């Protein structure tokens, strides 16, 4: 079936460096993508989203890039801080699935002091 | 705005008993609510989608008679794990939407079945 996956299960970065978390998706019908942050024992927290008619969107310290040609999504976090340590999930949806979300496998980001 | 709560936040029960988890949208009307299950170090897996006033739609492999979902109002959905067993121990998360693309997630409920 269709799935959304991540390239790296873990990522460690030095505090202050930039982080890049990648995600591959396989459903070409997906038209809406979201990045979530999940801290231990908590529900997912919305970070940023992007629609398929865009290839880049910026937020506060975060940028999402979408490459529809290769079905690739990335999350860039600038000046990574200790509070950014968490598991990051990408998710995708499309109108045909009644906007159900399909989550990727997640990347554990650890920020080193 | 767009706050979703879950109750209880954690529960421990004996094998064979039933457990009810509530999901509430506190400041908006949720026409659709989703229930997810998450095992340790794994991703969220959609269990079912419920629309207010109608039967829930379950994902393949999820037993509807074991995981009873009720969405009786636009602000409340409940998930009842019937005859719980240790393998049902997991983190259950709900989300709510009001018809658009955005889903608002609850804080999750940790279930431990002894």
CB-CB under 8 Å, A41 with B44: no
- The residue among B44, B73, B71 whose CA lies nearest residue B56 is B71
Band of pLDDT at residue A23, cut at 50, 70 and 90? very high
Q: Read off the pLDDT of each residue in A56-84 and give the average, rounded to a whole number.
A: 97
Give the lowest-confidence range in A9-18, A40-49, B45-54. Answer: B45-54
Q: Read off the pLDDT of each residue in B63-73 and give the average, rounded to a whole number.
A: 93
- The Cα–Cα gap between B109 and B114 comes to 16
- The yes-or-no verdict on residue A3 having pLDDT over 80 is no
Q: Read off the pLDDT of each residue in A85-99 and give the average, rounded to a whole number.
A: 86
* Strand-pair category, B45-51 with A107-112: unpaired
- The yes-or-no verdict on residue A28 having pLDDT over 80 is yes
Q: Which stretches of chain A sit within 8 Å of chain B by CB?
A: 32, 36, 41-46, 49, 89, 93, 98-106
- The yes-or-no verdict on residue A7 having pLDDT over 90 is no
Band of pLDDT at residue A98, cut at 50, 70 and 90? low
């Amino acid at each position: 079936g269709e799935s959304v996956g991540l390239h790296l299960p873990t990522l460690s970065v030095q505090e202050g460096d930039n982080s890049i978390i990648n995600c591959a998706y396989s459903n070409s019908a997906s038209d809406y993508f979201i990045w979530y942050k999940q801290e231990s024992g908590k529900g997912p927290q919305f970070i940023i989203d992007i629609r398929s008619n865009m290839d880049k969107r910026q937020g506060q310290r975060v940028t999402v890039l979408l490459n529809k040609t290769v079905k690739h999504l990335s999350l860039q976090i600038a000046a990574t801080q200790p509070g950014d340590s968490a598991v990051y999930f990408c998710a995708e949806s499309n109108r045909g699935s009644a906007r159900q979300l399909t989550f990727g496998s997640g990347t554990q980001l650890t920020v080193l002091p | 705005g767009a706050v979703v709560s879950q109750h209880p936040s954690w529960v421990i029960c004996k094998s064979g008993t039933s457990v009810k988890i509530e999901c509430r949208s506190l400041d908006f009307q949720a026409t659709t609510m989703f229930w997810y299950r998450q095992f340790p170090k794994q991703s969220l897996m959609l269990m079912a989608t419920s629309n207010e006033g109608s039967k829930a739609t379950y994902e393949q492999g999820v037993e509807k008679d074991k995981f009873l979902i009720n969405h009786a109002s636009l602000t409340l959905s409940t998930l009842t794990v019937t005859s719980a067993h240790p393998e049902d121990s997991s983190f259950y998360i709900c989300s709510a939407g009001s018809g658009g693309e955005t889903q608002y997630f609850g804080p999750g409920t940790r279930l431990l079945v002894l």
